Structure 1
Protein backbone atom coordinates (compact mmCIF):
# COMPACT_ATOMS: atom_id res chain seq x y z
CA UNK A 1 0.00 0.00 0.00
CA UNK A 2 3.02 2.31 -0.10
CA UNK A 3 3.77 2.18 -3.82
CA UNK A 4 3.34 5.33 -5.89
CA UNK A 5 2.88 3.49 -9.19
CA UNK A 6 -0.40 4.44 -10.88
CA UNK A 7 -1.48 0.79 -11.13
CA UNK A 8 -0.76 0.23 -7.43
CA UNK A 9 -2.77 3.32 -6.48
CA UNK A 10 -5.74 2.09 -8.57
CA UNK A 11 -5.46 -1.30 -6.88
CA UNK A 12 -5.39 0.33 -3.43
CA UNK A 13 -8.46 2.43 -4.26
CA UNK A 14 -10.31 -0.68 -5.45
CA UNK A 15 -9.38 -2.69 -2.31
CA UNK A 16 -10.24 0.13 0.11
CA UNK A 17 -13.30 1.39 -1.76
CA UNK A 18 -14.90 -1.88 -2.95
CA UNK A 19 -13.46 -5.08 -1.51
CA UNK A 20 -13.10 -4.18 2.18
CA UNK A 21 -16.57 -2.58 2.51
CA UNK A 22 -18.15 -5.61 0.82
CA UNK A 23 -16.32 -7.96 3.18
CA UNK A 24 -17.51 -5.86 6.16
CA UNK A 25 -21.14 -6.00 4.95
CA UNK A 26 -21.40 -9.62 3.75
CA UNK A 27 -18.41 -11.43 5.25
CA UNK A 28 -16.92 -12.30 1.85
CA UNK A 29 -16.14 -10.89 -1.58
CA UNK A 30 -16.80 -12.41 -4.98
CA UNK A 31 -15.41 -10.61 -8.02
CA UNK A 32 -18.14 -8.67 -9.78
CA UNK A 33 -20.61 -8.84 -6.88
CA UNK A 34 -20.41 -5.08 -6.29
CA UNK A 35 -22.90 -4.78 -9.14
CA UNK A 36 -25.48 -6.50 -6.90
CA UNK A 37 -27.03 -5.17 -3.71
CA UNK A 38 -27.32 -8.42 -1.75
CA UNK A 39 -29.15 -6.66 1.10
CA UNK A 40 -32.37 -6.69 -0.96
CA UNK A 41 -34.29 -9.71 -2.20
CA UNK A 42 -34.02 -8.60 -5.84
CA UNK A 43 -30.29 -7.99 -5.51
CA UNK A 44 -29.79 -11.38 -3.88
CA UNK A 45 -31.76 -13.06 -6.67
CA UNK A 46 -29.67 -11.26 -9.30
CA UNK A 47 -26.43 -12.26 -7.54
CA UNK A 48 -27.66 -15.86 -7.35
CA UNK A 49 -28.45 -15.89 -11.06
CA UNK A 50 -24.99 -14.45 -11.78
CA UNK A 51 -23.32 -17.19 -9.72
CA UNK A 52 -25.51 -19.87 -11.36
CA UNK A 53 -24.54 -18.62 -14.83
CA UNK A 54 -20.85 -18.69 -13.87
CA UNK A 55 -21.20 -22.24 -12.54
CA UNK A 56 -23.02 -23.34 -15.71
CA UNK A 57 -20.24 -21.86 -17.86
CA UNK A 58 -17.68 -23.74 -15.76
CA UNK A 59 -19.67 -27.00 -16.13
CA UNK A 60 -19.90 -26.49 -19.90
CA UNK A 61 -16.14 -26.03 -20.04
CA UNK A 62 -15.58 -29.26 -18.11
CA UNK A 63 -18.05 -31.09 -20.36
CA UNK A 64 -16.15 -29.91 -23.45
CA UNK A 65 -12.86 -31.05 -21.90
CA UNK A 66 -14.42 -34.45 -21.13
CA UNK A 67 -15.70 -34.86 -24.69
CA UNK A 68 -12.27 -33.94 -26.08
CA UNK A 69 -10.53 -36.47 -23.80
CA UNK A 70 -13.02 -39.31 -24.34
CA UNK A 71 -11.39 -40.80 -27.49
CA UNK A 72 -8.02 -40.98 -25.72
CA UNK A 73 -9.62 -42.50 -22.63
CA UNK A 74 -11.29 -45.18 -24.76
CA UNK A 75 -7.97 -45.96 -26.43
CA UNK A 76 -6.19 -46.23 -23.10
CA UNK A 77 -8.92 -48.51 -21.73
CA UNK A 78 -8.20 -50.95 -24.57
CA UNK A 79 -4.48 -50.79 -23.86
CA UNK A 80 -4.99 -51.25 -20.14
CA UNK A 81 -6.87 -54.49 -20.71
CA UNK A 82 -4.18 -55.83 -23.07
CA UNK A 83 -1.41 -58.00 -21.67
CA UNK A 84 1.58 -58.62 -23.92
CA UNK A 85 1.42 -59.20 -27.64
CA UNK A 86 -1.79 -60.64 -29.04
CA UNK A 87 -2.85 -62.27 -32.23
CA UNK A 88 -4.74 -60.21 -34.77
CA UNK A 89 -7.94 -62.03 -33.76
CA UNK A 90 -7.41 -61.11 -30.09
CA UNK A 91 -6.53 -57.53 -31.05
CA UNK A 92 -9.72 -57.29 -33.11
CA UNK A 93 -11.75 -58.40 -30.08
CA UNK A 94 -9.97 -55.86 -27.86
CA UNK A 95 -10.67 -53.10 -30.39
CA UNK A 96 -14.27 -54.29 -30.88
CA UNK A 97 -13.64 -54.71 -34.60
CA UNK A 98 -14.03 -57.54 -37.08
CA UNK A 99 -10.95 -59.68 -37.69
CA UNK A 100 -11.19 -59.23 -41.47
CA UNK A 101 -11.52 -55.44 -41.08
CA UNK A 102 -8.45 -55.31 -38.84
CA UNK A 103 -6.44 -57.42 -41.29
CA UNK A 104 -7.56 -55.07 -44.06
CA UNK A 105 -6.40 -52.08 -42.03
CA UNK A 106 -3.06 -53.75 -41.27
CA UNK A 107 -2.57 -54.54 -44.95
CA UNK A 108 -3.48 -50.97 -45.89
CA UNK A 109 -0.86 -49.66 -43.42
CA UNK A 110 1.60 -52.23 -44.84
CA UNK A 111 2.02 -53.83 -41.41
CA UNK A 112 1.30 -57.33 -42.77
CA UNK A 113 1.70 -58.97 -46.15
CA UNK A 114 -1.33 -59.79 -48.24
CA UNK A 115 -2.49 -63.31 -48.93
CA UNK A 116 -3.14 -66.49 -47.00
CA UNK A 117 0.19 -66.69 -45.11
CA UNK A 118 0.34 -63.17 -43.73
CA UNK A 119 3.61 -62.04 -42.15
CA UNK A 120 4.53 -58.91 -40.22
CA UNK A 121 6.50 -56.49 -42.38
CA UNK A 122 9.62 -54.55 -41.53
CA UNK A 123 7.49 -51.38 -41.56
CA UNK A 124 5.65 -52.72 -38.50
CA UNK A 125 8.51 -54.61 -36.86
CA UNK A 126 10.99 -51.70 -36.77
CA UNK A 127 8.82 -49.27 -34.77
CA UNK A 128 7.60 -52.12 -32.55
CA UNK A 129 3.94 -52.15 -33.64
CA UNK A 130 4.01 -55.85 -34.49
CA UNK A 131 6.09 -58.90 -33.73
CA UNK A 132 6.23 -62.51 -34.89
CA UNK A 133 5.33 -65.54 -32.83
CA UNK A 134 6.68 -68.90 -34.03
CA UNK A 135 5.39 -72.36 -33.19
CA UNK A 136 5.94 -75.91 -34.39
CA UNK A 137 2.98 -78.06 -35.47
CA UNK A 138 2.56 -81.78 -34.80
CA UNK A 139 4.42 -82.66 -38.03
CA UNK A 140 7.47 -80.65 -36.97
CA UNK A 141 6.88 -77.73 -39.36
CA UNK A 142 7.65 -74.26 -38.06
CA UNK A 143 4.99 -71.57 -38.56
CA UNK A 144 5.14 -67.88 -37.76
CA UNK A 145 2.15 -65.75 -36.84
CA UNK A 146 2.06 -61.95 -36.83
CA UNK A 147 1.09 -60.52 -33.41
CA UNK A 148 0.19 -56.98 -32.39
CA UNK A 149 2.32 -55.51 -29.60
CA UNK A 150 0.87 -53.27 -26.87
CA UNK A 151 2.44 -50.29 -28.67
CA UNK A 152 0.74 -51.31 -31.92
CA UNK A 153 -2.56 -51.85 -30.13
CA UNK A 154 -2.30 -48.38 -28.59
CA UNK A 155 -1.66 -46.88 -32.03
CA UNK A 156 -4.61 -48.72 -33.59
CA UNK A 157 -6.90 -47.79 -30.67
CA UNK A 158 -5.92 -44.14 -31.02
CA UNK A 159 -6.67 -44.22 -34.76
CA UNK A 160 -10.02 -45.88 -34.15
CA UNK A 161 -10.89 -43.31 -31.46
CA UNK A 162 -9.99 -40.43 -33.80
CA UNK A 163 -12.21 -41.86 -36.54
CA UNK A 164 -15.14 -41.97 -34.09
CA UNK A 165 -14.58 -38.39 -32.93
Structure 2
Protein backbone atom coordinates (compact mmCIF):
# COMPACT_ATOMS: atom_id res chain seq x y z
CA UNK A 1 0.00 0.00 0.00
CA UNK A 2 1.32 3.41 -0.87
CA UNK A 3 1.87 6.06 1.78
CA UNK A 4 -1.08 8.48 1.50
CA UNK A 5 0.45 11.05 3.88
CA UNK A 6 3.20 12.00 1.40
CA UNK A 7 3.02 15.60 0.15
CA UNK A 8 4.32 16.93 -3.15
CA UNK A 9 5.92 20.36 -3.50
CA UNK A 10 7.91 22.04 -6.23
CA UNK A 11 11.18 23.97 -6.31
CA UNK A 12 11.76 25.75 -9.62
CA UNK A 13 9.79 23.09 -11.48
CA UNK A 14 11.35 20.08 -9.69
CA UNK A 15 8.92 17.88 -7.76
CA UNK A 16 10.01 16.78 -4.27
CA UNK A 17 8.00 14.40 -2.11
CA UNK A 18 8.17 14.52 1.69
CA UNK A 19 6.23 13.57 4.79
CA UNK A 20 6.47 13.45 8.57
CA UNK A 21 7.16 10.01 10.06
CA UNK A 22 5.62 8.54 13.20
CA UNK A 23 8.31 10.19 15.32
CA UNK A 24 7.53 13.64 13.92
CA UNK A 25 10.67 13.82 11.75
CA UNK A 26 10.38 15.05 8.15
CA UNK A 27 11.63 12.62 5.51
CA UNK A 28 12.40 13.46 1.89
CA UNK A 29 12.48 11.35 -1.27
CA UNK A 30 16.24 11.13 -1.93
CA UNK A 31 15.92 10.82 -5.71
CA UNK A 32 13.65 13.89 -5.89
CA UNK A 33 16.09 15.96 -3.81
CA UNK A 34 19.10 14.84 -5.85
CA UNK A 35 17.36 15.75 -9.11
CA UNK A 36 16.26 19.13 -7.74
CA UNK A 37 19.89 19.82 -6.76
CA UNK A 38 21.16 19.06 -10.25
CA UNK A 39 22.89 15.72 -9.70
CA UNK A 40 23.15 13.84 -13.00
CA UNK A 41 23.70 10.45 -11.34
CA UNK A 42 21.22 10.48 -8.48
CA UNK A 43 21.98 6.96 -7.23
CA UNK A 44 25.70 7.76 -6.98
CA UNK A 45 25.00 11.05 -5.23
CA UNK A 46 22.79 9.34 -2.68
CA UNK A 47 25.37 6.61 -2.11
CA UNK A 48 28.27 9.05 -1.82
CA UNK A 49 26.72 11.70 0.39
CA UNK A 50 23.94 10.09 2.45
CA UNK A 51 25.44 8.63 5.61
CA UNK A 52 22.40 8.27 7.83
CA UNK A 53 19.67 5.64 7.98
CA UNK A 54 17.59 5.51 4.83
CA UNK A 55 13.97 4.43 4.77
CA UNK A 56 12.15 2.84 1.85
CA UNK A 57 8.47 3.48 1.13
CA UNK A 58 6.22 2.41 -1.77
CA UNK A 59 5.36 5.28 -4.13
CA UNK A 60 3.20 5.51 -7.25
CA UNK A 61 5.45 6.19 -10.26
CA UNK A 62 5.06 6.22 -14.03
CA UNK A 63 6.38 2.65 -14.00
CA UNK A 64 3.99 1.52 -11.26
CA UNK A 65 4.49 1.29 -7.50
CA UNK A 66 8.18 1.30 -6.57
CA UNK A 67 10.11 1.29 -3.33
CA UNK A 68 11.71 4.74 -3.00
CA UNK A 69 14.46 5.82 -0.61
CA UNK A 70 13.64 8.58 1.89
CA UNK A 71 16.25 10.48 3.89
CA UNK A 72 16.26 12.62 7.00
CA UNK A 73 17.37 16.21 7.50
CA UNK A 74 21.04 15.29 8.03
CA UNK A 75 21.39 13.57 4.67
CA UNK A 76 19.27 16.25 3.04
CA UNK A 77 21.82 18.84 4.20
CA UNK A 78 24.73 16.67 2.96
CA UNK A 79 23.20 16.53 -0.52
CA UNK A 80 22.63 20.29 -0.49
CA UNK A 81 26.18 21.04 0.70
CA UNK A 82 27.72 18.83 -2.00
CA UNK A 83 25.62 20.24 -4.85
CA UNK A 84 27.24 22.49 -7.43
CA UNK A 85 23.90 23.95 -8.46
CA UNK A 86 23.94 27.77 -8.03
CA UNK A 87 20.48 27.65 -6.49
CA UNK A 88 21.48 25.06 -3.85
CA UNK A 89 21.69 27.72 -1.14
CA UNK A 90 18.27 29.03 -2.11
CA UNK A 91 16.96 25.45 -2.03
CA UNK A 92 18.42 25.01 1.47
CA UNK A 93 16.78 28.17 2.78
CA UNK A 94 13.47 27.25 1.24
CA UNK A 95 13.56 23.73 2.71
CA UNK A 96 14.52 24.68 6.24
CA UNK A 97 12.74 28.04 6.51
CA UNK A 98 9.47 27.16 4.77
CA UNK A 99 8.96 23.49 3.94
CA UNK A 100 10.16 21.76 7.12
CA UNK A 101 8.29 24.12 9.50
CA UNK A 102 5.17 23.71 7.37
CA UNK A 103 5.41 19.92 7.39
CA UNK A 104 5.76 19.95 11.17
CA UNK A 105 2.91 22.39 11.66
CA UNK A 106 0.45 21.34 8.97
CA UNK A 107 1.66 17.87 7.90
CA UNK A 108 2.42 19.14 4.39
CA UNK A 109 3.45 22.03 2.18
CA UNK A 110 1.36 23.96 -0.32
CA UNK A 111 3.10 25.72 -3.16
CA UNK A 112 2.87 29.50 -2.79
CA UNK A 113 1.72 29.39 0.81
CA UNK A 114 4.28 32.07 1.78
CA UNK A 115 2.27 34.74 -0.05
CA UNK A 116 -1.17 33.55 1.08
CA UNK A 117 -3.37 35.49 3.47
CA UNK A 118 -4.67 33.56 6.52
CA UNK A 119 -8.05 33.20 4.79
CA UNK A 120 -6.46 31.86 1.59
CA UNK A 121 -4.29 29.50 3.63
CA UNK A 122 -7.34 28.16 5.48
CA UNK A 123 -9.25 27.66 2.21
CA UNK A 124 -6.27 25.96 0.54
CA UNK A 125 -5.81 23.72 3.58
CA UNK A 126 -9.48 22.75 3.47
CA UNK A 127 -9.27 21.89 -0.21
CA UNK A 128 -6.12 19.85 0.42
CA UNK A 129 -7.80 17.92 3.23
CA UNK A 130 -10.86 17.29 1.07
CA UNK A 131 -8.66 15.92 -1.70
CA UNK A 132 -6.92 13.63 0.80
CA UNK A 133 -10.25 12.38 2.16
CA UNK A 134 -11.50 11.72 -1.38
CA UNK A 135 -8.25 9.94 -2.25
CA UNK A 136 -8.41 7.70 0.81
CA UNK A 137 -12.12 6.97 0.22
CA UNK A 138 -11.29 5.92 -3.34
CA UNK A 139 -8.52 3.64 -2.12
CA UNK A 140 -10.79 2.07 0.50
CA UNK A 141 -13.46 1.49 -2.13
CA UNK A 142 -10.92 -0.21 -4.39
CA UNK A 143 -9.70 -2.36 -1.53
CA UNK A 144 -13.18 -3.25 -0.25
CA UNK A 145 -13.57 -6.50 -2.25
CA UNK A 146 -10.24 -7.71 -0.86
CA UNK A 147 -11.28 -6.73 2.65
CA UNK A 148 -14.58 -8.56 2.32
CA UNK A 149 -12.84 -11.64 0.91
CA UNK A 150 -10.34 -11.58 3.76
CA UNK A 151 -13.11 -11.22 6.35
CA UNK A 152 -15.01 -14.08 4.76
CA UNK A 153 -11.99 -16.34 5.16
CA UNK A 154 -12.48 -16.15 8.93
CA UNK A 155 -15.77 -18.06 8.70
CA UNK A 156 -16.06 -21.55 10.13
CA UNK A 157 -14.57 -24.37 8.09
CA UNK A 158 -17.33 -26.62 9.43
CA UNK A 159 -20.88 -26.65 8.16
CA UNK A 160 -23.26 -24.43 10.11
CA UNK A 161 -27.01 -24.03 10.39
CA UNK A 162 -28.82 -21.31 8.46
CA UNK A 163 -29.57 -19.64 11.79
CA UNK A 164 -25.85 -19.47 12.53
CA UNK A 165 -25.27 -17.99 9.07
CA UNK A 166 -27.66 -15.15 9.98
CA UNK A 167 -25.53 -14.47 13.08
CA UNK A 168 -22.37 -14.46 10.94
CA UNK A 169 -23.97 -11.97 8.56
CA UNK A 170 -25.01 -9.84 11.52
CA UNK A 171 -21.38 -9.77 12.72
CA UNK A 172 -20.43 -8.41 9.28
CA UNK A 173 -23.00 -5.61 9.50
CA UNK A 174 -25.94 -7.25 7.69
CA UNK A 175 -29.14 -6.85 9.69
CA UNK A 176 -31.06 -10.05 8.92
CA UNK A 177 -32.53 -12.62 11.27
CA UNK A 178 -32.97 -16.36 10.83
CA UNK A 179 -36.57 -16.24 9.53
CA UNK A 180 -35.87 -13.45 7.05
CA UNK A 181 -32.75 -15.27 5.86
CA UNK A 182 -34.74 -18.47 5.26
CA UNK A 183 -37.29 -16.47 3.30
CA UNK A 184 -34.56 -14.75 1.27
CA UNK A 185 -32.91 -18.10 0.47
CA UNK A 186 -36.26 -19.52 -0.68
CA UNK A 187 -37.08 -16.42 -2.74
CA UNK A 188 -33.71 -16.65 -4.52
CA UNK A 189 -34.03 -20.41 -5.15
CA UNK A 190 -31.18 -21.47 -2.87
CA UNK A 191 -33.67 -23.44 -0.77
CA UNK A 192 -36.79 -25.19 -1.95
CA UNK A 193 -40.11 -23.49 -1.28
CA UNK A 194 -42.10 -26.62 -2.16
CA UNK A 195 -44.23 -27.77 0.74
CA UNK A 196 -43.56 -31.21 2.12
CA UNK A 197 -40.32 -33.11 2.67
CA UNK A 198 -38.38 -30.78 0.36
CA UNK A 199 -39.31 -27.64 2.33
CA UNK A 200 -36.19 -25.56 3.05
CA UNK A 201 -33.93 -28.17 1.47
CA UNK A 202 -31.04 -26.85 -0.66
CA UNK A 203 -31.70 -27.01 -4.37
CA UNK A 204 -29.50 -29.43 -6.30
CA UNK A 205 -27.72 -26.62 -8.19
CA UNK A 206 -26.27 -25.09 -5.03
CA UNK A 207 -25.49 -28.44 -3.43
CA UNK A 208 -23.41 -29.24 -6.52
CA UNK A 209 -21.69 -25.84 -6.21
CA UNK A 210 -20.65 -26.75 -2.68
CA UNK A 211 -22.64 -24.06 -0.87
CA UNK A 212 -24.80 -26.50 1.09
CA UNK A 213 -24.83 -30.00 2.49
CA UNK A 214 -27.77 -31.95 3.83
CA UNK A 215 -27.33 -33.46 7.27
CA UNK A 216 -29.21 -36.74 7.62
CA UNK A 217 -30.34 -37.77 11.09
CA UNK A 218 -33.08 -39.62 12.91
CA UNK A 219 -35.78 -38.61 15.34
CA UNK A 220 -37.52 -41.10 17.65
CA UNK A 221 -40.55 -39.69 19.48
CA UNK A 222 -41.16 -43.18 20.92
CA UNK A 223 -39.10 -46.37 20.96
CA UNK A 224 -41.41 -47.82 18.33
CA UNK A 225 -41.32 -44.88 15.93
CA UNK A 226 -38.25 -43.46 14.16
CA UNK A 227 -38.21 -40.77 11.49
CA UNK A 228 -35.46 -39.61 9.19
CA UNK A 229 -34.55 -35.93 9.49
CA UNK A 230 -32.84 -33.71 6.91
CA UNK A 231 -31.28 -30.40 7.88
CA UNK A 232 -29.79 -27.83 5.47
CA UNK A 233 -26.21 -26.94 6.43
CA UNK A 234 -24.11 -24.11 4.99
CA UNK A 235 -20.55 -25.14 4.08
CA UNK A 236 -17.44 -23.01 4.64
CA UNK A 237 -17.53 -22.12 0.95
CA UNK A 238 -21.20 -21.20 1.30
CA UNK A 239 -20.51 -18.96 4.30
CA UNK A 240 -17.87 -17.09 2.34
CA UNK A 241 -20.18 -16.83 -0.66
CA UNK A 242 -23.14 -15.41 1.26
CA UNK A 243 -21.08 -12.97 3.35
CA UNK A 244 -19.60 -11.52 0.16
CA UNK A 245 -22.94 -11.56 -1.62
CA UNK A 246 -24.78 -9.67 1.11
CA UNK A 247 -21.94 -7.16 1.38
CA UNK A 248 -22.19 -6.61 -2.38
CA UNK A 249 -18.61 -7.57 -3.27
CA UNK A 250 -16.75 -9.70 -5.82
CA UNK A 251 -19.04 -8.63 -8.65
CA UNK A 252 -22.00 -10.52 -7.18
CA UNK A 253 -24.12 -7.47 -6.37
CA UNK A 254 -25.92 -6.49 -3.20
CA UNK A 255 -28.48 -8.94 -1.90
CA UNK A 256 -32.04 -7.76 -2.20
TM surpasses 0.5: yes
Alignment of 1:19 with 2:85, yes or no, is: no
| Equivalent position of 2:184 in the other structure | 101
CA 93–14 in structure 1, closer or farther in 2 if over 3 Å, else same: farther
Deviation of the 1:132 alpha carbon = 1.4
CA 164–37 in structure 1, closer or farther in 2 if over 3 Å, else same: farther
Alignment of 1:88 with 2:168, yes or no, is: no
In structure 2, which of residues 233, 236, 247 is the aligned counterpart of residue 161 of structure 1?
247
Secondary structure of the residue aligned to 2:114 is: coil
Alignment of 1:117 with 2:197, yes or no, is: yes
Alignment of 1:129 with 2:211, yes or no, is: yes
Q: 1:83, 1:58 → 2: CA distance?
A: 39
Q: 1:75, 1:3 → 2: CA distance?
A: 46
Larger strand percent: 2
Structure 1: gaps of 5 or more residues: 5-11
2:207–2:213 Cα contact (<8 Å) kept: yes
TM-score for the superposition, normalised by structure 1? 0.61
- Cα RMSD (Å): 4.1
Structure 2: gaps of 5 or more residues: 1-37, 42-83, 103-107, 170-175, 249-253
Number of matched pairs: 150
2:99–2:109 Cα contact (<8 Å) kept: no
Deviation of the 1:67 alpha carbon = 5.7
2:185–2:191 Cα contact (<8 Å) kept: no
Alignment of 1:144 with 2:230, yes or no, is: yes
CA 57–146 in structure 1, closer or farther in 2 if over 3 Å, else same: same
Secondary structure of the residue aligned to 1:56 is: helix
Alignment of 1:36 with 2:113, yes or no, is: yes
Superimposed CA distance per residue, residues 65-87 of structure 1 (whole angstroms, 9 cap, x where no aligned partner): 44666688678768757673223
| Equivalent position of 2:54 in the other structure | none
